[in-house]
Each structure stands twice: as structure tokens, then as C-alpha cells.
Structure 1
Amino acid sequence: MMLPTPSGTPKVSPKATLFFTIFTAMLGLSVLFPVIAPLARQLGLSESQAGWFSAVYSLMQLVFAPFWGQQSERWGRKPVLLLGLVGFALSFGLFGLVAQLGLRGVLGGGLVFALLLACRLLGGLLSSATLPTAQAMMADLTPREARASAMGLIGAAFGLGVVFGPALGGLLSGVGLVAPVFFSAGLGLLTAVVGFFTLPETLRRDQASPQGQTGRAVLQAAPVRMLLLLGALSTLASVAMEQTIGFYVQDTLHLSTTATARTVGSMLALFGIVAALVQGGAMRRLGRAIPPAHLLALGLGTMGAGMGALSLAASAWTMALALAVIGVGSALLSPTLSAALSLSVGERQQGAVAGFNASALALGRMAGPLLGTALYQRVGHAAPYWVSGSLLAALLAWVWMIRPQIRAVAAPQV
């Protein structure tokens, strides 16, 4: 949306720029999903080594996202957001350069792995400033009564980036396996330039930054801890699948590296489209008609069934169908968890519970790649999916046993 300025020159809406920022950040990250596995194979790296690339990135986000959120209260939102975007671009550019040198044989396998890991550490450290600062800016720009819809805008940008990224990564892999990496770097830098010229500083210097026992009070509620644990473990199961699906497709269908990247990109795009359709359509009605505990159980059961089907899949079509089922389950589970956590605390604890939720999800994203690739390499190609399916089934049984507590904590406060 364009806003008129007094001089008549059109001005980009800050909310539109924030939407673009999150969309491009997720697009730039998810274009790598189809190429990480075949790129690792081309570089002579193992499945477990490839898993470390995602694990250390999530570890840095887990550790540093709260830090950058606090710095945005001191330095201002805009400089911290721009730092995150430039850091994102820098780390991906370095990652692509090292990978290119490795493919050309200039760098040896051990050195390539160490340097690529360092690039991911740097990327996670700096890019972790992006999402929490963008959320804070959106909150600064939005009155309380419209805050939920504004945060939904960020969620939509997040989801759309994940939908289009894998398909784009698959297409770009036709140019070369490193092409999506350099694309991500350029996209991050472009977004930083757009943000520099269009975003205002949204932090008011008179805004209080309350400290105290808010976080401790949130964690003292046992049902909140249950929901956080549920989010961490379900994310672990999902990411274990995402991290190994490239290896699974290549080894099961006997595809070349380029064909693998294209096939996985199409499959993950279908996964994202299905999830986006369910979140954007069915969840609006289901959320009003079905209690949160039942929606959580439905999401876990659907995801678990999809994981089981994926462990048995032997063709591209059956794999795609299984991923679509997992996408439906994920779309039911994720927003229900966020809504239940939001409803479980008072208005002054929303930021704290959102921060703990982000940390729980980061824990899952950190552990999932390590578990998934270890299972794939040491137990069997289908092992990550039947283990994830079993974990989701255990979580389903647990949710069914504690559903009265979830209903109580997720009841809207009036």
C-alpha cells in the first residue's frame, strides 16, 4: 500500500515493508531446502554433517534472538533490523563462496565443512535480529485492538516465503547448486536497502521496557510448560523430516543431484501450499468450532499418519501425497499452539510467552536435523519418518490425557 506524503510523493507503508522483509527473509532461507542435501553430497559431506548446518543456525537463533530484542529497545528498531538483514546476506554470500571453492576442488572436505559451519554460525547470530525486531516494529505501528491481525500479517509473510522458496530453489538449481545460495544473499541485501529507505524508526523513547518477574511467572504455569514442550517436540519431528527428505528422494528414486533438487522443491512447495490453504481457510472455522485440545490432537494425529505414509512411500507421487498430509497436520497444529499459549497468559505477558514459544521452536529446529540425519545415516533411510511418527503418536496420547488442563488454560479470559 502506498501512502501520500505532503509533497505528493508516494510513500511505502511501513507495514508493507515489514511484510516484504519477512517474506523475502523466509524465501531466501527456504530456497536452500531442496539443495542442501545434493550440495552436501557433491561436496563429499555426510548426512550428519549436513544436519549440523541447520542445527547451528537454529542454536544461534535460540541464543541471540532475545539479545537482539533487548538491543532494539536501546539502539532503536531500524538499525537492529537492518543489521539482521545485512548479516543474513553476508553469511549466505560467504557460504556460497566457500561451497563454490569446494566444488572446484580448491578447498578440501574437512576445511569446507569447517568454513561452511562458521558461515552458518555467523548467519544464525546476525539474522536472529530480523524476526523479533520486525514483530516489535509491527507492534509499535499497531493499536492493541488490531495487534492480532497485524501479527497474522507477519505469519502470512512467513508462510508464503516457505511456500515459494523451495519451488524457486528447485528452479534455480538448474543453473547450479550454489545459485540459490547467492540468490538468497542478493535478496537479503536488496531487502536491507529497501528497508533503509522506506522504514521509519518506530521505537518511542518514552516507551517503557518493563523488566521483572514476567518470564518467571509465565513458566511457573504448568500447562504453559506443557504447551511449550509440545511445540518443541512436534517441531523436532517436522524438521527431522525436512532435513532428510532430500536424501530420501535421491536414494529412493535414484535421481541426479539436479533432479533431486527440482523434485524436492516441488514436493515442499506442495507441502507449503496445502498448509497455507488450511491455515488461511479451514482454520478460521475450525478454530471457532473445535476446542483447542481436540485441534491439537487432530493436528498431531494427521502429522503422524503422514510420517508413517512417508516411511512406506516408494514413488514421487506417494511421497508428495504423504507430505501433503503432513502439511495439513502442521497447519492444524501450529496456529492452535500459538493461540493456546496466547490465551493462557494475561495481556502484559504476551511478549514473554511469545519469546518462550520462539525458544521452544528453535530447540526443536536445532535438535531435529541432528536426530533426523543420524537416524538416516546409521539406522535406515525410513527411520527418521517412523521415529517422528511414533513421537507424534506419543504426543497425541499425552494431549488426550491432559486435555482438561489445556482446555482450562486456553479458555479466553473475559
Structure 2
Amino acid sequence: MKRPSTLLCVFVTLLNDRVSESLVFPLLPFLLASFTSSGTTLGLLAGSYALAQFIATPLIGAFSDRFGRRPVIATCVAGTVIGLGVFGLTLELPWPDGSLWPLLLLFGGRLLDGFSGGTAATAGAVLADISTPENRAKAFGLIGVAFGLGFILGPAFAGILSQWSVTLPVWIALLIAVVNLLLVLRLLPETHPLDQRQPLPRKRALNPFTQLSGVFSNPRVSRLCLGFFLFFLAFNGFTAVLVLFFKQKFGWGPGPATTAFLIVGIVATVVQGGLIGPLVKRFGEQRLTLAGLGLVLVGCLMIPLAPVDRSQSVVYPAVALLAFGTGLVTPSLRSLVSRRLSSGGQGAALGSLQGLQSLGSFLGPPLMGFSYELVGHSSPFLLAAAFLIGVAALSANGSFKQAG
């Protein structure tokens, strides 16, 4: 039976999806140092990946239903290989001073990697194909394991490898993607039978903004969905300039910066992997949402207040609070939206939340990068704090309306 090889391919694909991103993201300011120190450029580069994912995810899902899982996953992983290859080669090649080509190629590599980064949804579809309704939840647990491991291994390896070369983690990410592609081509069977293939939907259904307009027109969830969007705009916005802030204010190198992201990965994995279920049962989604927002707010404000001579002793607890709070907010807000909908509206609404997350992750980084340059290095944290207060108000308001 091919099921063990299928699970191996799915696991490696999910792991590659997270590891390749978490290897590169904490090092972006150091990788770009030869080309630019602009916060706006860094924000745009960080947000470009999310923009590409936002546009491509509906297409990738529709293609996998029409043409099968295997060719879509293989194409997506191949796109990641090419995108990382372009990114790495651009960093290594000598460029004349003032040339725009390296930045254009770096953006091209990130966009291509983002466009082909919809492997998680298709890998989840493979798990659904090969599992029965009774063991589907257990099969989907593989997604959480792979993502948690990826969030831990990526920053850990980035910190270790960057001691030899700051570009080495990019090449390791490329190597992982190549291994992933070879496994998919050699071992992954097609799990979506021909008699279950579906025709491609109309163009309007593939427009990522279509579902968003529908969910915001629903008064039962519109406030919560707006809060969900603003949360990711704020969080992914200030974290996009976080390493640049560490580098310019505290003089941190790649080692301390990647350690901060390693702490985030460990704490987030513990919260979402083991604590969130018991906490929801005891306190409920509403209280956890507000508590999580409070933790993120405190962590966000601690970072710019950290003294230069004791920066690590303040920043590391701060990023732990950020990770703990985010681990509470994200699943709790999703659950609040889900509870307010009938069973028939679940799929579209939860798909819209993923779109809102991607859209916020695109708009936040350039906004905060622009603020970082124009207003001051501490301004992204203050702006994010204001957004987080707004998210708390929207979440609380929505719940009080529901209770009424």
C-alpha cells in the first residue's frame, strides 16, 4: 500500500513550506545589507510573499480539484525551488553599485516562491483524500506537527548556519525544496480519482476578493473578521521590521535575531499544540482572545523600551509574550467566527479568514516599513499597539452584541 509514502511526501511538503520561510525571513535585513537598508523596501519584500499567496491560493485549490493533487504539488514545489534559486543567486553574484537588477530579482524570487506557496492547502487535500471521516482529525494533526517543527527548526538552523555565511541558510532551504520535489515526483501517488475531478470555477469565484466582500456583508461576523484582518496587519507589520530594529538599535547580528524567532517557534508550538484546547474549555474563546491581545500588546511595547545594554533580557521575554498571545488570539478568533455561522457557511467564511490573514500580512509590512523610515524606529510598535486596541474593541463589541 502506498499510504506510508504518501504521508511521508505530505509531511516533507508541509515541513518544507514552513522551514524554507522561517530559514530566510529572520535574516532578510542581513541578506539585503549589500543592496539597501531601507525599511520600506524590507517591508515591501516581506509583504510580497503574502501578496502572491493571497492571489494564488484560490487558483491552486481549484487546479488541484481539476487536475489532481500530484501535479499541483509538484509544480508548486518546483516553483519554490526556482524562486529560492533566483533569490540565492542574486545574493551571491557581484552587482555594480546603484544597479536595480538585484532588488528586482530578489522581489521576483520572493513573488515566485509566494505564488507557488499554496502547498499546505493541497497537502491537506491529500490527507482528506486518503483518510476516513473517523480518522481525518488525526490525519490533519500531521499539519500541526509539521508546521510546529518547521517554525522551530527554521530559526534554529538559520542561527547556526549564519555563523559560517549569512547566505548559507538560503541554500539549505533550496536543498530541502529539491529533496521535497524529488520525493513528490518519485513517491507521491495521485489521490484524487478522475471520477471526482471538478471543472474549474468561473473567474469570479477565483477572485480572492470575492469571498472577502461576502464575509464583510454578514453582520454576524463582519466586526470579528475586520478585527482578524487588523490583527494580522499589525502583527505581521511590526514583525517584518523587527530584525531590522534589532540590528540598527541594539547592534544584533544574525545569532541573537534568529534566537528571538526560535523562542517564538517554541512558544507558539506549545500553545497551539497542547495548551489551547484545555484553555478554551476553561476560559472560552472570548476571554482568550482579549487575554491574548493583551499579551501581544505588552510584548509589542516592551521591545522599543528595552535598554541597549540589556536588550536580550527584555526582548526575549517580550517575544515569548508575543508568541503566547498570538497562539491564543488566532484560533480563538477563528472559533468565534465559526460559532456565529450556520454549518452551510463555514467553508467560505473560514476560507475568507485565510484570505484576510494573507491580505493583512501583505499590507502590514510595507505600512510599518514606511513608518519606520518616515516617523521613527519605534513608530511601528506604537502603530501596531493602536491597531491591537482596535482589534480588542471590535472583538469585545462583537461578543456583547452576540450576548445581547
Whether TM-score is above 0.5 comes out as yes
The answer as to whether partners of 2:29 and 2:37 remain within 8 angstroms in 1 is: no
What is the alpha-carbon distance in structure 2 between the residues aligned to residue 15 and residue 350 of structure 1?
27
The answer as to whether partners of 2:48 and 2:110 remain within 8 angstroms in 1 is: yes
User: 1:269 corresponds to which letter in structure 2?
Assistant: L
The structure 2 residue matched to 1:303, chosen from 296, 303, 307, is 296
How does 1:31-50 map onto structure 2 within 5 Å?
Answer: 31-50=23-42
Could you list the per-position Cα deviations for residues 305-357 of structure 1 after superposition, in whole angstroms to 9, with x for gaps in the alignment? 11111121121120111111111100101121233334444445443233212
The structure 2 residue matched to 1:29, chosen from 21, 30, 36, is 21
Q: Could you tell me the percent identity over the aligned residues?
A: 29
Shift of 1:33: 2.0
User: 1:399 corresponds to which letter in structure 2?
Assistant: S
CA 1:99 to 1:107, structure 2 compared with 1: closer, same or farther past 3 Å?
A: farther
| 1:280 aligned counterpart, secondary structure | helix
Shift of 1:291: 2.2
User: 1:304 corresponds to which letter in structure 2?
Assistant: L
How does 1:271-282 map onto structure 2 within 5 Å?
Answer: 271-282=264-275
User: 2:301 corresponds to which letter in structure 1?
Assistant: G
The higher relative CO (CA closer than 8 Å, separation ≥ 6) is in 2
Shift of 1:106: 4.8
What is the alpha-carbon distance in structure 1 between the residues aligned to residue 285 and residue 21 of structure 2?
31
Partner of 2:185: 196
Which deviates more from structure 2 when the two are superposed, residues 204-213 or residues 310-319? 204-213
How does 1:113-128 map onto structure 2 within 5 Å?
Answer: 113-128=103-118
Shift of 1:21: 1.2
Shift of 1:406: 5.6
Shift of 1:400: 1.7
Partner of 1:110: 100
What is the alpha-carbon distance in structure 2 between the residues aligned to residue 395 and residue 184 of structure 1?
35
Shift of 1:45: 4.3
TM-score, with length taken from structure 1: 0.88
Shift of 1:146: 3.7
Could you list the per-position Cα deviations for residues 80-99 of structure 1 after superposition, in whole angstroms to 9, with x for gaps in the alignment? 01111110111011111011
The structure 1 residue matched to 2:244, chosen from 242, 247, 257, is 247
CA 1:245 to 1:65, structure 2 compared with 1: closer, same or farther past 3 Å?
A: same
What is the alpha-carbon distance in structure 2 between the residues aligned to residue 86 and residue 325 of structure 1?
37
The answer as to whether partners of 1:293 and 1:406 remain within 8 angstroms in 2 is: no
User: 1:275 corresponds to which letter in structure 2?
Assistant: A
| 1:144 aligned counterpart, secondary structure | coil
The answer as to whether partners of 2:238 and 2:380 remain within 8 angstroms in 1 is: yes
What is the alpha-carbon distance in structure 1 between the residues aligned to residue 75 and residue 402 of structure 2?
39
TM-score, with length taken from structure 2: 0.90
Structure 1's unaligned 5+ residue stretches are: 409-414
The structure 1 residue matched to 2:65, chosen from 73, 81, 91, is 73
Matched, 1:57 2:46: no
The answer as to whether partners of 1:304 and 1:392 remain within 8 angstroms in 2 is: yes
CA 1:349 to 1:203, structure 2 compared with 1: closer, same or farther past 3 Å?
A: farther
Matched, 1:293 2:286: yes
CA 1:200 to 1:71, structure 2 compared with 1: closer, same or farther past 3 Å?
A: same
Partner of 1:228: 225
The answer as to whether partners of 1:56 and 1:124 remain within 8 angstroms in 2 is: yes
Shift of 1:141: 2.1
Partner of 1:160: 149
Structure 2's unaligned 5+ residue stretches are: none
CA 1:202 to 1:226, structure 2 compared with 1: closer, same or farther past 3 Å?
A: farther
CA 1:407 to 1:41, structure 2 compared with 1: closer, same or farther past 3 Å?
A: farther
Partner of 1:389: 385
Matched, 1:177 2:166: yes
Partner of 2:318: 322
| 2:26 aligned counterpart, secondary structure | coil
